[in-house]
Amino acid sequence: MADRHINLFKCCSFLRPLGYLMILFVFAIVGVSYYAVVVLVWGPVVVRGGARGVVSVLVLIVFHVLLTLLMWSYIMVVFQDPGSVPENWRPMPEETREEATSTAQQLYVALDASSSALSSSDEGERSRYCSRCQNWKPPRCHHCSVFLSHLGQKCILKMDHHCVWMVNCVGAHNYKFFLLFLIYTFLEVALDTVVLLPSIIQLFGKSNHHSFSPGSVAVTFLAFVLNLAFCLSLFGFLVMHASLLLSNTTTIEVYEKKKAVRWKYDLGWKKNFEQVFGKNKALWFLPIISKEDFDSIPALQGICFPVGENEEP
């Protein structure tokens, strides 16, 4: 009898070329929105001056600031390695792990040593081994069959999901950039929707006194529809990831968390936030992780993770 076993993970390989098309789609949406908002609608208002000219200058300033932060975050997510298991990494022996836990715990000054511990591997994860990568996996690490580096497919540290929009996995090293991309994209598309709405009302209202050509009408309408659609869809996605962030959970871990009486990685919303965004408040809303935060917060490195006070390391 022929072997009917099908490796579903191999079917995911088609997502890689699709991802490159999605990147072009992102830039296309940005281009259409930029042309509609800046060139067609609000740019000419600046030229005409007056009170509306002042408003249009403010609109364009906010538009360009959000666009810059959006694209900066997007580029960081696309090109930043999400985090891979160090070569020949092995779970530490009990004695060594306790020493490493103590040292790392002292570095992470945001956590009280008396109320939390660091888990580099626990009883359920001590034997986790990836047969594809031929390597051990730290806690919260998962193999991605879509991600492709010069070494081939690999395991991703604290993997959240593979994002087809970025042709990259979202993991320990770029999750902050991904969240910032969601935030700034939502704010940008919400702004675009609001500032294009008066023009849409004018175009399709009873009054047909407008200076738009048929091509300009089509571009403005397309930009409005795209931005409205993304605004509505991103709102739910942003709320979901905000909930995951504040509970210190990844998308992959949602089902596992449902089976737990108390989620062991939940340290309280403030500490959970710092696990991703760091402690340097000046960099919270920039797609940058300081060396000080990366070196002092084990979770950002993706190997060790603090656990709650009622959990054993």
Active-site residue set = 163
CA atoms within 13 A on the CB side of 23: 15
DSSP state of 284: T
CA angle 155, 168, 23 (to 5 degrees): 165
Q: What are phi and psi of 37, to 5 degrees?
A: -75, -50
Integer Cα distance of 26 and 41 in angstroms: 21
CB 253 within 8 A of CB 239: no
CA gap 309, 19 in Å, rounded? 41
Give the span between the Cα atoms of 165 and 27, in whole angstroms. Answer: 11
Instruction: Count Cβ neighbours within 10 Å for each residue of 198-228 and write b for 16 or more, e otherwise.
Output: ebbeebeeeeeeeebeeebbebbbebbebbb
CA dist., res. 221 & res. 203, Å (int): 9
